[in-house]
């Protein structure tokens, strides 16, 4: 019979497993006294867990250029808790890149790798454990949310890798007609491999510009990849507009109203 392990040991196993991730040598880290801090707690961060906001199954807080996510374990076995937490975020990445049904979502591997590059690792402070990510990881959570069927963080506003289709309502362009058109292109898809439109907040382009390459951010285009086109919307949309989207293999325009 194996000896039960504590939460820190379970996190160490997860970090060790992540070293197989093929992301230019980047893998999860565990901040301790032997290495350079990922994140420095201080009075300005608001140490109280009450200052964290809930989003789906997690509690999070933005602190400067970082997002910190609280690992809140109740009576669950530490190893089981860490396994379930890791599954929610599809980490370590290499375990989730080539799932049996990945051919139903051909862009998934690229999107997952790019998104998970924003996860730095874990730290412990005053007996609480936290996952540390880039602040832009918060955009992924807000835009895509968790799948209501398999409970993992999605990489799309429409489709989950498990095959479940569920439109995200956590975004708006601020233009009701444009929102309706974007959602209609999403509703019409029968698989994740079909083309559809997505609202891209301008902050995401700023994120990409600062990082120079979309491959180092979350799969979104950079300024060099796109043209900003002034969009004129109306209350009416033509069927040809939807056919244009559906016949496209790659949608690479960001529309700014």
Dist CA 187 CA 255 (whole Å): 19
Please tell me the predicted confidence (pLDDT) of residue 173.
84
Q: What is the DSSP string of the chain?
A: -PPP--HHHHHHHHHHHGGG--STT---EE--TTS--S----GGG--SGGGSEEETTEEEEEETTEEEEEE---SS-HHHHHHHHHHHHT-SGGGTTT-TTGGGSTTHHHHHHHHHTTEEEEEEETTEEEEEEETTHHHHHHHH-B-TTT-PBPSSSSB-TTS-B----S---S-HHHHHHHHHHHHT-SSTTS-------HHHHHHHHHHS-GGGTTS---GGG--EEE----S---HHHHHHHHT-S----EEE-
Average pLDDT, the chain: 77
Q: What is the structure's pLDDT at 203?
A: 67
Q: In the chain, where are the structural domains located?
A: 1-162, 171-257
- The pLDDT tens digits of the residues spanning 86-120 come to 999 999 998 887 777 777 888 888 888 888 989 99
The band of 50, judged by pLDDT with boundaries at 50, 70 and 90, is low
pLDDT over 70, % of the chain: 68
Radius of gyration of the chain (CA): 20
3-state secondary structure 95-161: HCCCCCCHHHCCCHHHHHHHHHCCEEEEEEECCEEEEEEECCHHHHHHHHCECCCCCCECCCCCECC
Average pLDDT on 157-179 reads: 89
Highest mean pLDDT among 39-53, 184-198, 202-216, 229-243: 184-198
Convert the pLDDT of each residue in 205-223 to its tens digit.
655 444 434 334 445 544 4
Sign of CA dihedral 165, 168, 169, 171: negative
What pLDDT, on a 0 to 100 scale, did the predictor assign at position 250? Answer: 38
For residue 247, name the pLDDT band (cuts at 50, 70, 90).
very low
Residue 233's pLDDT is what? Answer: 59
Higher pLDDT, 38 or 49: 38
Most trustworthy range by pLDDT among 39-43, 152-156, 226-230, 248-252: 152-156
Q: For the whole prediction, is pTM greater than 0.85?
A: no
- Closest to 28 (Cα-Cα) out of 98, 106, 82, 107: 82
């Amino acid at each position: 019979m194996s000896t039960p392990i504590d939460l820190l040991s379970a996190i160490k196993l997860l970090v060790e497993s992540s070293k197989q991730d093929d992301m230019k040598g980047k893998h999860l880290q565990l901040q301790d006294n032997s290495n350079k801090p990922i994140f420095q707690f201080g009075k300005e961060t608001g140490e109280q867990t009450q200052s964290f906001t809930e989003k789906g199954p997690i509690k999070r807080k933005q602190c400067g250029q970082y997002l910190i996510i609280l690992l809140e374990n109740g009576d669950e076995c530490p190893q089981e808790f860490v396994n379930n937490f890791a599954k929610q975020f599809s980490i370590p990445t290499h375990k989730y890149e080539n799932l049996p049904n990945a051919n139903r979502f051909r862009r998934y591997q690229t999107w997952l790798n790019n998104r998970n590059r924003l996860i730095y690792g874990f730290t412990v402070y005053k007996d609480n454990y936290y996952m540390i990510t880039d602040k832009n990881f918060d955009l992924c959570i807000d835009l895509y949310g968790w799948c209501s069927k398999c409970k993992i963080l999605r990489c799309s506003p429409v489709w989950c890798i498990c095959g479940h289709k569920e439109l995200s309502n956590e975004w708006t362009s601020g233009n009701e007609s444009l929102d309706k058109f974007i959602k209609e292109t999403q509703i019409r898809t029968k698989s994740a491999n079909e083309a559809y439109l997505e609202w891209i907040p301008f902050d995401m382009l700023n994120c990409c510009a600062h990082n120079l390459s979309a491959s180092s951010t979350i799969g979104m285009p950079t300024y060099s990849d796109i043209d900003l086109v002034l969009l004129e919307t109306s209350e009416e949309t033509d069927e040809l507009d939807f056919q244009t989207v559906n016949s496209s293999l790659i949608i690479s325009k960001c529309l700014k109203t």
